[in-house]
Amino acid sequence: MPDVFTTLYKPDVLSCLADLSNDEVFTPPSVVNDMLDMLPQELFESPDTTFLDPVCKSGVFLREIAKRLIKGLEDKIPDLQERIDHIFQKQLYGIAITELTSLLSRRSVYCSKYPNSKYSVSQFDDVQGNIRYKNVAHEWVKGKCCFCGATESEYGTQKRDGMESHAYEFIHTTKPQEIYNMKFDVIIGNPPYQLSVGNTAGNSSKAKSIYHLFIDQALKLNPHYLCMITPSRWMTKTTEGIPDEWVEQMLDCNRIRVLHDFEEAGECFPGVEIKGGVNYFLFDSEYNGKCCYYYHVKNGETQKRVAFLNALKTGILIRSPQAYTILERIAKIEGEYYSDEKYNFSSMVSPKDFFTNKQVLTSSWTGFSMVKSKEQCVKYYINKNIHKSPYGYISLHVIPKNVESVNIWKVFIPAAGGSGNDDIVLGMPFVGEPNSACSQTYLVIGYDPIKHNFSKEECENIVSYIKTRFFRYLVSIKKKTQNGPRQVYQFVPMQDFSKPWTDAELYDKYKLSQDEIDFIESMIRPME
């Protein structure tokens, strides 16, 4: 058994930093080196290769690259100091995300936060060296930054006077090539993932993803190689702020040579929880072919496949190899049902906030009565945190929209439940009788009185279908956060709801193998 010293001691200060709880996720040196291993190693043997980290935090990327170059150029530049000067002044470049991280990066790369001081391992003429930081400002257009989407209410000077603005230089320009005015062979880094955009729904704060903006800017520089680590939620189109078109372009470009995808973010960032996991990839501008895709699952197992990322033409990345084969089996029966909403279960699920607006019937709204009366006679299903009773009563006229759906049989299901990575996946569905509505806590299944118009028995059969392991596993392919909008039901095929459904019937219908059945049942537990 290893001793305490072996298991707990971390001689590298940047490894310690990566373990700290912080709004910014610092990359451990071990992960950086795994990313660098994806690159052709001859890059580190050339004195002409140029590297850029456009999102410097700890400087760990540039530091680990420097180590490899110092060793790789030993024969070409024998003198150590001459070699170090060449590497630091002509091959390594960085753009820090804050003034503090610029100092930290210079300290870890140059061994001095001031590279023009006598303590710097390479002498520069100025205090920044090749790791620059420029304090730029957001550009507000109607209360939002036209570059990153930050809200003026959260990041304006009145709110953050004297604080970091989070206006990152690399993405706050239309011409990133003018920052250094040079060509980079490799762009690599760990960009900021998101920005808070404040309270936008009456009861909750939202965050907008921004890491794709750094990828777009990097591609404008036309590097030979681009390597970045990001959350994996973009793969399933379940990320606030990332357009579906961007995801499709990433999957269809066929220039991602290698992709490592981690189901648990803690495998890369110890102690850090990022719903949906994280990934890092190698984009090669001169490559056009299948991707070598590694899926690192929770138990430490790594599953590998070599395929086009959008091989099934689903519009998202099917991460699990088992999911891939299960969807293939279903498609043999149903055709490409997942390619058009009208052929899959998502067509049954309402948009979010179906009955509500930003003021009325929100999850925090309390304008209901606990006593049914002639005026307040509509059964109203509420957020369990508002009242111990699951429902109250409201007047029909207070419902802002979709009033025509009040008087039909339907199914209610929590709009948020589970994480997508748990073994339940969805909140408990239940039948909603005529003369009923719900807060924004729920989505409505069978919401359209013209297209759906189900009977009570059909609604009960829909509930039986939702509660199957088969159904919830298919939802889990796309659902990677608590939120479960209609889009996460894309891979669930439609059924005949004149009868109830069991897992055994569904396994038999789609001819799943025993291994596939065992896999589903190992991932999803029964819903009580």
* Residue 422 in domain: yes
Answer whether 382's CB lies under 8 Å from 476's CB: no
307-336: burial string, b at 16+ Cβ within 10 Å, e else = eebbebebbbbbbbbbbbebbeebbeebee
- Looking at the predicted structure, is the pLDDT value of residue 21 above 50? no
Answer whether 304's CB lies under 8 Å from 324's CB: no
Closest CA to 265 of 452, 481, 440: 481
Structural domain of 415: 328-523
For residues 238 and 232, give the distance between their C-alpha atoms in angstroms, rounded to a whole number. Answer: 10
The domain tally of the chain equals 1
For residues 95 and 54, give the distance between their C-alpha atoms in angstroms, rounded to a whole number. Answer: 5
Tokens of 338: 């997942």
Number of Cβ within 10 Å of residue 455's Cβ equals: 12
Phi first, then psi, for residue 215 (nearest 5°) are: -65, -45
User: From edge to edge, which strands make up the β-sheet containing 278-284?
Assistant: 131-132, 92-96, 51-56, 186-189, 225-231, 278-284, 256-262, 291-296, 302-307
Q: Which of 223-232, 284-293, 477-486 has the lowest mean pLDDT?
A: 477-486
Answer whether 349's CB lies under 8 Å from 489's CB: yes
Answer whether 214's CB lies under 8 Å from 228's CB: yes
Q: Please tell me whether residue 441 adopts helix, strand or coil conformation.
A: coil
Answer whether 134's CB lies under 8 Å from 167's CB: no
* Residue 415 in domain: yes
pLDDT score recorded for residue 360: 94
* Residue 482 in domain: yes
Q: Which ranges of 183-301 does DSSP label H, i.e. alpha helix?
A: 211-220, 244-252
Task: Give the residue-averaged pLDDT of 454-469.
Answer: 98
Give residue for tokens 């699990």.
320
Q: Please tell me whether residue 284 adopts helix, strand or coil conformation.
A: strand
- Looking at the predicted structure, is the pLDDT value of residue 352 above 60? yes
- Looking at the predicted structure, is the pLDDT value of residue 299 above 90? no
pLDDT score recorded for residue 2: 47
pLDDT score recorded for residue 371: 95
* Residue 275 in domain: no
* Residue 465 in domain: yes
* pTM exceeding the 0.95 threshold for the entire prediction: no
Give the DSSP per-residue string, 174-197: S-GGGTT-S--SEEEE----EEEE
* Residue 303 in domain: no
- Looking at the predicted structure, is the pLDDT value of residue 202 above 50? no
- Looking at the predicted structure, is the pLDDT value of residue 400 above 50? yes
* Residue 348 in domain: yes
**pLDDT tens readout for residues 151-167:** 998 899 877 777 788 99
CA distances from 365 to 206, 360, 369, 388, 393 (A): 19, 6, 11, 15, 13
**pLDDT tens readout for residues 482-508:** 889 999 999 999 999 999 999 999 999
Number of Cβ within 10 Å of residue 248's Cβ equals: 14
pLDDT score recorded for residue 420: 54
Q: Please tell me whether residue 56 adopts helix, strand or coil conformation.
A: strand
Question: How would residue 412 be classed by pLDDT, with cut points 50, 70 and 90?
Answer: very high
Helix axes 514-523, 469-476, angle to 10 degrees: 80
Answer whether 382's CB lies under 8 Å from 437's CB: no
Closest CA to 352 of 416, 431, 417: 416
Give the DSSP per-residue string, 306-373: EE-TTTT--SS----HHHHHHHHHHHHHH-SGGGSGGGBGGGGBPPSSSS--SSSS-TT----BSS--
pLDDT score recorded for residue 239: 78
CA distances from 264 to 77, 233, 287, 288 (A): 42, 12, 29, 29
For residues 347 and 334, give the distance between their C-alpha atoms in angstroms, rounded to a whole number. Answer: 15
- Looking at the predicted structure, is the pLDDT value of residue 1 above 60? no
Helix axes 80-90, 60-72, angle to 10 degrees: 140
Give residue for tokens 């001819």.
511
Q: Please tell me whether residue 226 adopts helix, strand or coil conformation.
A: strand
For residues 321 and 326, give the distance between their C-alpha atoms in angstroms, rounded to a whole number. Answer: 9
User: What single DSSP character describes residue 220?
Assistant: H
Answer whether 104's CB lies under 8 Å from 147's CB: no
For residues 172 and 188, give the distance between their C-alpha atoms in angstroms, rounded to a whole number. Answer: 18
Question: How would residue 34 be classed by pLDDT, with cut points 50, 70 and 90?
Answer: very high
* Residue 164 in domain: no
